[in-house]
């Protein structure tokens, strides 16, 4: 299944992980979802995977994470040559201008406010899946 | 700092050095260790001055004029910040506050040894967000002086005046007691004002944080209820479907309420950005944003000539938008018509936004401005009832009043006033 999009979701909120999973289930080709529940775990797994083929195609990153905050995870991803190219999509409840601008400055590929309601949530997750699996070319 | 009030032999002169208050009155120097506990000396001074002004205190025209300095310079904050940098500095030789035309509003000069070298500094005062310079502060610094020198001279001048002071003190004691009492009273009043501001700020922060944190669990309820609704519709019995539908609708409504609460608290917590605003231009922009709504409802909005005034352009836009939308929304059978007009009334502009909608019974005229207060069933006129509450908050933050004149079936005239000269002073918000 070479066409299956591999997504790493970095989010400690089990409910949001569940909703993401449910929304992804409904995609034509359901992506592979790897969940890291905190920033350290995400970096550890990204680094371990980096040389091989298991590296995710995109990272969905929440900002409000225990231990290592999302923005710091983003900064470290962009600082590491082996990880730098991975597209990172920030998915956060915050709509503060500070967070939005700050994430783009740190090199986020896009910033999406977490939507309310499953209908909206699915629309967003599908849009991400469709864009990154069929529209964009990945490294 | 010492206030050398311009034009003021008749004026009471007062000064503050550190925490001591010094009254210069009829040639008599009295030192009052008032022991004021204030967090920010400069703010305290400004509050005292304003209190003098507000009470029309019998303090002499000169003092009142000095009290007016920060206001007339239109930028109290910049002046206060500037002055606080020099307050109590022993190497300060003189400090003059001039308005943009070069007129002196206030001056401070400390005893100055002859032949001392001084350094002249001129600092323009401009509003924090740019714009024209509204005044200047001229500062002369003496690099050679040290605080010992200042306190020695200060003590000497107190000693010289001391003997005279003792003679007059008996006669003046009553006056002084009264003045001291007044000072204490003013200090207490300033503390109360500060306390009120602090609790207002806390309330606003509370509303903001509560709304943000309330959203998280709500997102879960809305998300999973909708998921349940979509995937299990028709697979449970119809009663269950109905219950799920009510959860979804309730969550959606709560979401709107929280967003409105956030918007309302934002109106109160954001620092006002006063600038010169063409209200006619603001209304044109609002109408262009509302174009789809107006077209859909067949509404006609007309506007008379509208003035330029000083206010926060973003908030005034929201004010017009809420009032026009309100007029269109509460329409009767006829196509909605909204007319916006303004006329000058003394120092204020009186704006009227008149509609031909369903109107309001006079006994409810006040209630419509309360948050989440609605007079009609939500299914007849959807919405949470925040629009007019936000409108009132905006008008009040600009120092104006808002009210409605109406009778059922005869449309409504929403009226509000805005100062023609500018918005009132606000405490800096943290």
List, for residues B266-280, the tens digit of each pLDDT value. 887 777 888 999 999
| Closest Cα in chain A to B248 | A117
Percent of chain A with pLDDT over 70: 94
Query: CA end-to-end span of chain A, whole Å?
Result: 18
B408 or B322, higher pLDDT: B322
Model pLDDT for residues A82-97, shown as the tens digit of each residue: 888 899 999 988 877 8
Does residue B225 carry a pLDDT above 70?
yes
- The mean per-residue pLDDT over the stretch B329-352 comes to 92
How far apart are the C-alpha atoms of B111 and B147, rounded to whole Å? Answer: 12
Mean per-residue pLDDT over chain B, rounded: 72
Is the pLDDT reported for residue A118 higher than 90? no
Residue B122 has pLDDT above 90, yes or no: no
- Smallest CA–CA separation between B324 and chain A, in Å? 28
Does pTM surpass 0.90? no
Contact B216 A93 (CB under 8 A): yes
Residue scoring higher pLDDT (B173 or A37): A37
Res B262: pLDDT:
82
Chain A environment of B230 (Cβ under 8 Å): 118-119
ipTM, 2 dp:
0.72
Look at A19 and B252 and tell me if their CB atoms are within 8 Å.
Answer: no
pLDDT band for position B39 (50/70/90)? very low
Among B13-27, B106-120, B142-156, B201-215, top mean pLDDT goes to B201-215
Confidence band for A1, pLDDT divided at 50, 70 and 90: very low
B252 — contact with chain A (CB < 8 Å)? yes
* Terminal Cα distance for chain B, rounded: 26
User: Does B219 contact A118 at a Cβ distance shorter than 8 Å?
Assistant: no
Q: How many angstroms away from the CA of B327 is the closest CA of chain A?
A: 30
Residue A50 has pLDDT above 60, yes or no: no
pLDDT of residue B163 exceeding 60: no
Q: Nearest Cβ partner of B226 from A93, A114, A119?
A: A119
**What pLDDT shows up at residue B187?**
81
Q: pLDDT tens, B176-211? A: 677 777 778 888 888 888 887 877 777 777 777 777
Nearest CA in chain A to B256: A116
pLDDT of residue B106: 65
**Interfacial residues of A (vs B; Cβ cutoff 8 Å):** 15, 19, 22, 93, 114, 116-119, 121
Is the per-residue pLDDT at B326 higher than 70? yes
3-class SS letters over chain B: CECECCCCCCCCEEEEECCEEEEEECCEEEEECCCCCCCCHHHHHHHHHHHHHHHCCCCCHHHHHHHCHHHHCCCHHHHHHHHHHHCCCCCEEEEEEEECCCCEEEEEECCCCCCCCCEEEEEEECCCCCCCCCEEEEEEECCCCCHHHHHHHHHHHHHHHHHHHHHHHHHHHHHHHHHHHHHHHHHHHHHHHHHHHHHHHHHHHHHHHHHHHHHHHHHHHHHHHHHHHHHHCCCCCHHHHHHHHHHHHHHHHHHHHHHHHHHHHHHHHCCCCEEEEEHHHHHHHHHHHCHHHHHHHCCEEEECCCCEEEEEHHHHHHHHHHHHHHHHHCCCCCCCEEEEEEEEECCEEEEEEEECCCCCCHHHCCHHHCCCCCCCCCCCCCCCCCHHHHHHHHHHHCCCCEEEEECCCCCEEEEEEEECCCCCCCCCCC
Region of poorest pLDDT, from A124-128, B68-72, B94-98, B119-123: B68-72
Q: Which of A28-42, B85-99, B135-149 has the lowest mean pLDDT?
A: B135-149
Q: How far is B261 from chain A (nearest CA, A)?
A: 16
pLDDT for B165 beyond 60 = no
Cβ-Cβ contacts under 8 Å, A121 against chain B: 223
Stretch B373-399: mean pLDDT: 83
Judged by average pLDDT, the poorest of A55-64, B34-43, B90-99, B236-245 is: B34-43
B window 183-242, beta carbon within 8 A of A: 215-216, 218-220, 222-227, 230
User: Which of A13, A14, A118 is the best substitution to test chain B (most B C-beta atoms within 10 A)?
Assistant: A118
Distance of CA B190 to the CA centre of its chain: 16
pLDDT, greater one: A39 or B171: A39
B219: which chain A residues are within 8 Å (Cβ-Cβ)?
93, 114, 116-117
**Beta carbon pairs, A and B, within 8 Å:** 34
Mean pLDDT for B77-91 is 65
Residue B75 clears pLDDT 90, i.e. is over it: no
pLDDT tens per residue across span B244-260: 999 998 888 888 888 88
Of A22, A114, A116, the CB nearest to B227: A22
Who's near A105: CB < 8 A, 6+ residues apart? Answer: none
Give the distance from residue A12's alpha carbon to the nearest chain B alpha carbon, in angstroms.
13
Task: Give the pLDDT score at A30.
Answer: 83
B215, B216, B222: residue with CB nearest A117: B222
Nearest C-alpha in A relative to B255: A116
The DSSP 8-state label assigned to residue A33 in this structure reads: E
Residue B248 with chain A: CB contacts under 8 Å: 117
What is the percent of chain B where pLDDT is above 90? 25
What's the whole-number mean pLDDT along residues B109-138?
A: 65
Give percent of chain B above pLDDT 70: 60
pLDDT for B69: 38
Name which residue leads in pLDDT, B76 or B85. Answer: B85
Q: Which of B219, B245, B255 is the best residue to mutate to test the A interface, defined by the most A CB atoms within 10 Å of its own CB?
A: B219
Of the given ranges (B196-200, B289-293, B426-430), which has the lowest mean pLDDT? B426-430
Q: Select the residue from A12, A116, A123 to test the B interface by mutation, using most B Cβ atoms within 10 A.
A: A116
The residue in chain A having the minimum alpha-carbon distance to the alpha carbon of residue B254 is: A116
Find the closest chain B residue to A120 by CA distance.
B223
Neighboring chain B residues of A91 at a CB cutoff of 8 Å: none
Say if residue B403's pLDDT is above 70: yes
């Amino acid at each position: 299944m070479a066409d299956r999009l591999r997504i790493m979701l970095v989010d400690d909120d089990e409910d949001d992980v569940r909703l993401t999973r449910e929304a992804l289930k409904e995609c034509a080709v359901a992506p592979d979802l790897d969940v890291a529940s905190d920033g350290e775990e995400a970096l550890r797994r990204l680094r371990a995977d980096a040389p091989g083929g298991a590296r995710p195609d995109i990272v969905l990153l929440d900002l409000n994470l225990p231990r290592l905050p999302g923005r710091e995870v983003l900064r470290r991803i962009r600082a590491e040559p082996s990880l730098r190219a991975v597209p990172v999509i920030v998915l956060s409840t915050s709509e503060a201008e500070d967070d939005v601008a700050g994430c783009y400055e740190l090199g986020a590929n896009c910033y999406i406010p977490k939507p309310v309601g499953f209908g909206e949530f699915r629309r967003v997750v599908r849009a991400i899946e469709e864009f990154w699996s069929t529209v964009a070319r990945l490294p | 700092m010492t206030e050398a009030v311009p034009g003021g032999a008749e004026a009471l002169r007062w000064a503050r050095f550190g925490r001591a208050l010094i009254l210069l009155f009829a040639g008599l120097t009295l030192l009052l260790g008032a022991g004021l506990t204030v967090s920010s000396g400069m703010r305290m001074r400004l509050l005292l001055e304003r209190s003098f002004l507000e009470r029309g205190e019998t303090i002499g025209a000169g003092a009142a004029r000095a009290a007016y300095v920060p206001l007339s310079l239109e930028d109290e904050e910049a002046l206060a910040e500037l002055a606080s940098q020099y307050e109590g500095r022993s190497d300060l030789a003189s400090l003059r506050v001039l308005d943009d035309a070069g007129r002196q509003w206030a001056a401070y000069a400390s005893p100055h040894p002859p032949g001392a070298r001084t350094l002249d500094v001129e600092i323009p005062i401009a509003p924090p967000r740019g714009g024209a310079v509204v005044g200047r502060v001229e500062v002369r610094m003496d690099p050679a002086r040290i605080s010992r020198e200042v306190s020695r001279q200060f003590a000497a001048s107190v000693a010289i005046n001391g003997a005279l002071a003792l003679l007059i003190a008996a006669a003046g004691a009553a006056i002084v007691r009264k003045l001291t009492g007044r000072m204490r009273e003013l200090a207490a009043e300033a503390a109360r004002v500060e306390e009120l501001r602090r609790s207002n700020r806390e309330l606003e922060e509370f509303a903001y944080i509560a709304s943000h944190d309330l959203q998280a669990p709500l997102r879960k309820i809305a998300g999973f209820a909708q998921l349940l609704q979509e995937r299990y519709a028709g697979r449970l019995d119809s009663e269950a479907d109905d219950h799920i539908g009510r959860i979804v609708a309730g969550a959606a409504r709560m979401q709107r309420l929280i967003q409105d609460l956030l918007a309302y608290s934002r109106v109160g917590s954001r620092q006002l950005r006063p600038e010169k605003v063409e209200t006619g231009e603001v209304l044109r922009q609002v109408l262009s944003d509302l174009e789809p709504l107006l077209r859909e409802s067949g509404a006609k909005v007309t506007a008379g000539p509208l003035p330029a005034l000083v206010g926060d352009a973003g908030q005034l836009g929201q004010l017009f938008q809420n009032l026009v939308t309100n007029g269109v929304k509460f329409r009767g059978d006829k196509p909605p018509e909204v007319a916006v007009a303004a006329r000058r009334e003394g120092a204020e502009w009186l704006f009227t936004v008149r509609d031909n909608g369903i109107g309001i019974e006079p006994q409810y005229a006040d209630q419509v401005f309360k948050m989440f207060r609605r007079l009609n069933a939500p299914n007849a006129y959807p919405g949470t009832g925040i629009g007019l509450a936000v409108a009132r908050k905006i008008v009040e933050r600009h120092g104006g009043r808002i009210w409605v004149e109406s009778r059922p079936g005869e449309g409504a005239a929403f009226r509000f006033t805005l100062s023609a000269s500018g918005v009132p002073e606000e405490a800096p918000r943290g």
